[in-house]
Amino acid sequence: MEPAPRELIARTWADIWGGEPIISVRGKYAVADVEGLVWTEDGEARGLVTFAVDGDEGEIVSIDAFEEGRHVGGRLIDAAEEEMRRRGAKTARVTTTNDNLRAFAFYVRRGYRLVRVELDGVERVRAAKPDIPTVGNDGIPLRDMWELAKPLRH
């Protein structure tokens, strides 16, 4: 795992997340607001995680495995949690949407718990990114934002 160049973060956010900002339950993030770690194999980026630390709170802003089924997501989240812990964070937080049941299960398996639901929170995101669809994964209406948290053991 190595620090991610800002250009990689910007390109990934543009390709996968529709550009800046990325909006969570807690805040709005530009590329300049986050740090990133990239997982590489054979000289190629295989995944990227971005995060921000504010005092004793850390937030995973984005996590993207560029290939499925290679356990890249687990490696990315482990590295981000370790880096946030190293910087003094006592809690890691992450936001997902109500249609992303696969991500929800991924986080819960890794010790995260649902701590907050922002009903109709995706409307706030659509104000900044009007291209976000109204229907998400598996035909589920895309409406709510879910925040999950995990204590980081020191």
129-139 pLDDT tens trace: 999 999 999 99
Condensed to tens digits (0 to 9), the pLDDT of residues 55-109 reads: 999 999 999 998 776 788 899 999 999 999 999 999 999 999 999 999 999 999 9
Instruction: Give the contacts of 41 (CB within 8 A, at least 6 positions apart).
Output: none
Helix (H, G, I), strand (E, B) or coil at 21: coil
In the chain, what are the domain boundaries? 2-151
Topology annotation, domain 2-151: Aminopeptidase (3.40.630)
Instruction: Give the contacts of 35 (CB within 8 A, at least 6 positions apart).
Output: 3, 4, 50, 51, 52, 83
Q: What is the pTM of this model?
A: 0.91
Q: What percent of the chain has pLDDT over 70?
A: 99
In whole angstroms, how large is the CA radius of gyration of the chain?
Answer: 15
| Bridge partner list, 79 | none
